[in-house]
Structure 1
Amino acid sequence: MNRLEKLGTERANPKTKNLDIMTVKEIIKTMNEEDQTVALAVQRVLPQIEDAIYIVHKGLSNNGRLLYVGAGTSGRIGLLDAVECPPTFSTSPQLVQAVLAGGHSAVMVAVEGAEDDQELGESDLKQLDLTSSDVVVGIAASGRTPYVIGALAYAQSVGAKTISLSSNTQATISQYANVAIEVETGPEVLTGSTRLKAATAHKMIVNMISTVSMIQAGKVYKNLMVDVHASNYKLKERAKMIVCEVTNITYEEAEKALIETQFNVKQAIVMISTGSTAEEGANLLKKANGKVRMAIGEKDE
């Protein structure tokens, strides 16, 4: 494995060599300037991200799961993306999951040594009954975390597709990936603190992977969150607004339609747009594989 001092994420940033005596204004200005380089770093790996999304979409279409694997900050980034999928896209909590070194307790408190255990990465995936339809995304800013290597190697052994996400080139985890995303974010403002630029880049990339995969699965109509799980007041209000916007009906009419469809936004839209009953709307959606545009007979613009 690469020695730490050779990694771009471990090098000292010359702009912040006097970080401890810089003023608050100077520090936050520098941090902001460095953060502006992150989006450009992500832009350089868009082709790899695109390839990764095709893999994820194919896996999900074959009843597979999307599993983010990581330790520390990397694991928490995967978790943050995973837990947002059910409310945003009405997915099952099992569809997109995060596998953290040290288990769920590592979300709040670091579990010493867990990230250095390659066999633990393998055993954690074994417990999930990994199949060849699943897609495993291994996240490690350094690109060399043993826990992630163990998980990716095991995933490959069962025929699952693998994606690696690191912030260094020639990352070790890239050797275990069908698609390797190496987003080079360079030295951090605080040397070695990859919860800064590297983590920001990784958050942007997992946002793309999950969101675009869900769009491909028909969980978005136009740019609207039509598969939102309306589980609270705010989300129920959002559901009503979406139905109003798409169908040009009143707030009261949208509320009535949503109550009739048990707040299934897509079903309500199809029912209103086609003048059908709730049951007929559900059948139209099923025939269209859940895609609203197809269900209502609307051609691509």
Structure 2
Amino acid sequence: MASRTEEFDLRFAGLDQWSDADFLMALWEGQMRAVASVGPILQDLAAAANGIARRLGGGGRLVYVGAGTSGTVAWQDAKELGGTFGWPEQHTIVMLAGGLQSAPNEFNGAEDDTDLAARDIQQNDIGEHDAVIAIAASGSTPYTVRAVELARERGALTVGICNNPDGSLIKIADHGIFLDSAPEVVAGSTRMGAGTAQKAALNILSTLVMNKLGRLFDNLMVGMRAENIKLRDRALRIVCHIASCDEGRAKDALSQSDFDIRIAVLVANGHQVSRAKEVLGLSNGNLRAALEYRD
């Protein structure tokens, strides 16, 4: 039996002959249904985030696993964690079947390669300190399913996200999550509804994890890397806001701290850089806890 993402939805019979307005409306409604599918699984995402944060807080790595569209969605989420939250790249692993640089035929074919999944798990030494987030629209992609099976055998925490209620990922992962994004408007084109639902779910999941690891203060990205003019200006505003200081003091603090926002806030509040680093370390990188720290 075909997975739900492969179903032919008869509501869209004759789609290729619809007017532009009706065609686009159908696609837009499909995207809205996809985003709406995340609402009912927020508690599942919260439970997964708590488990992931515990592993990462203990020094573990965040591992993304996927193939095809799901793999590239996972890769995008992983890639953005460093710049947005300052999450270290050495603590992020992306296992994308075939790799981003592979030729189209290799990229598509790699999703069936369970031996490749085993090699990738072995080479990355996935273990009990790590947290694995695996994504597959069908929930049955051989590469992804095998990677989760092996990661769990090795003691890693596993989260499986799919768009099929009968997907194997739901059954084999510690946290199996079903995104009810409905059959695709363009049958089987999971880059559309399923991909949008996955992106929204990952955005929410990884942001909550980063918050639990102290990478936010209020709604501000205090772990952010200020690597260009726009981000340096943002860093300046953040330090001014949290430390309640003027721009001159904030600029000096940022300069002393190599534009590490959390260190800069502590420096602007009167700490020497070395002490600020010590206090932040004792607070597990959590700025709010560091500001409240007392010897």
TM-score exceeds 0.5 = yes
Which residue is equivalent to 2:217?
221
Question: Deviations for 1:213-254, whole angstroms, at most 9, x for unmatched residues?
Answer: 111011111110001111222221111111122223222321
Question: Residue 143 of structure 1: CA displacement?
Answer: 0.8
Deviation beyond 3 Å, 4+ runs, structure 1 = 106-110
Q: TM-score w.r.t. structure 2 length?
A: 0.94
Alpha-carbon distance between aligned partners in 2 of 1:33 and 1:55, rounded to the nearest angstrom: 34
Question: What pairs up with 1:57-72 in 2 under 5 angstroms?
Answer: 57-72=53-68
Q: TM-score w.r.t. structure 1 length?
A: 0.92
Which residue is equivalent to 1:118?
114
Question: Residue 107 of structure 1: CA displacement?
Answer: 8.7
Alpha-carbon distance between aligned partners in 2 of 1:200 and 1:94, rounded to the nearest angstrom: 27
Question: What pairs up with 1:49-88 in 2 under 5 angstroms?
Answer: 49-88=45-84
Question: Residue 183 of structure 1: CA displacement?
Answer: 0.7
Which residue is equivalent to 2:86?
90
Q: Residue 111 of structure 1 aligns to a residue in which SS? A: helix
Moved more, 46-55 or 138-147: 46-55
The answer on whether the counterparts of 2:250 and 2:268 sit within 8 Å (CA) in structure 1 is no
Which residue is equivalent to 1:291?
286
Question: Deviations for 1:243-290, whole angstroms, at most 9, x for unmatched residues?
Answer: 1222232223211110011111001112223x2222222222122222
Question: Deviations for 1:156-185, whole angstroms, at most 9, x for unmatched residues?
Answer: 121111111100102112222001011111
Which residue is equivalent to 2:262?
266
Alpha-carbon distance between aligned partners in 1 of 2:225 and 2:59, rounded to the nearest angstrom: 20
Alpha-carbon distance between aligned partners in 2 of 1:215 and 1:107, rounded to the nearest angstrom: 37
Q: Given the superposition, is the C-alpha separation of residues 63 and 188 from structure 1 closer, same or farther in structure 2, using an over 3 Å criterion?
A: same
Question: Deviations for 1:174-227, whole angstroms, at most 9, x for unmatched residues?
Answer: 222001011111111111101111111111111122111111011111110001
| Pair 1:129 & 2:125 matched | yes
One-letter identity of the residue aligned with 2:169: I
Question: What pairs up with 1:240-279 in 2 under 5 angstroms?
Answer: 240-273=236-269, 275-279=270-274
Which residue is equivalent to 1:152?
148
- Alignment counterpart, residue 36 of structure 1, candidates 32, 37, 49: 32
Alpha-carbon distance between aligned partners in 2 of 1:173 and 1:107, rounded to the nearest angstrom: 27
One-letter identity of the residue aligned with 1:287: L
Alpha-carbon distance between aligned partners in 2 of 1:166 and 1:289, rounded to the nearest angstrom: 33
One-letter identity of the residue aligned with 1:197: G
Which residue is equivalent to 1:192?
188
Q: Residue 16 of structure 2 aligns to a residue in which SS? A: helix
Question: What pairs up with 1:201-240 in 2 under 5 angstroms?
Answer: 201-240=197-236
One-letter identity of the residue aligned with 2:241: E
One-letter identity of the residue aligned with 1:146: P
Question: Residue 110 of structure 1: CA displacement?
Answer: 5.3
One-letter identity of the residue aligned with 2:179: V
Moved more, 34-43 or 181-190: 34-43
The answer on whether the counterparts of 1:67 and 1:135 sit within 8 Å (CA) in structure 2 is yes
Gaps of 5+ in 2: none
Q: Given the superposition, is the C-alpha separation of residues 261 and 210 from structure 1 closer, same or farther in structure 2, using an over 3 Å criterion?
A: same
Which residue is equivalent to 1:17?
13
Gaps of 5+ in 1: none
Q: Given the superposition, is the C-alpha separation of residues 67 and 55 from structure 1 closer, same or farther in structure 2, using an over 3 Å criterion?
A: same
One-letter identity of the residue aligned with 2:79: V
- Alignment counterpart, residue 164 of structure 1, candidates 160, 167, 170: 160
Alpha-carbon distance between aligned partners in 1 of 2:128 and 2:210, rounded to the nearest angstrom: 20
Alpha-carbon distance between aligned partners in 1 of 2:204 and 2:108, rounded to the nearest angstrom: 31
Alpha-carbon distance between aligned partners in 2 of 1:281 and 1:112, rounded to the nearest angstrom: 49
Over aligned residues, Cα RMSD in angstroms? 1.7
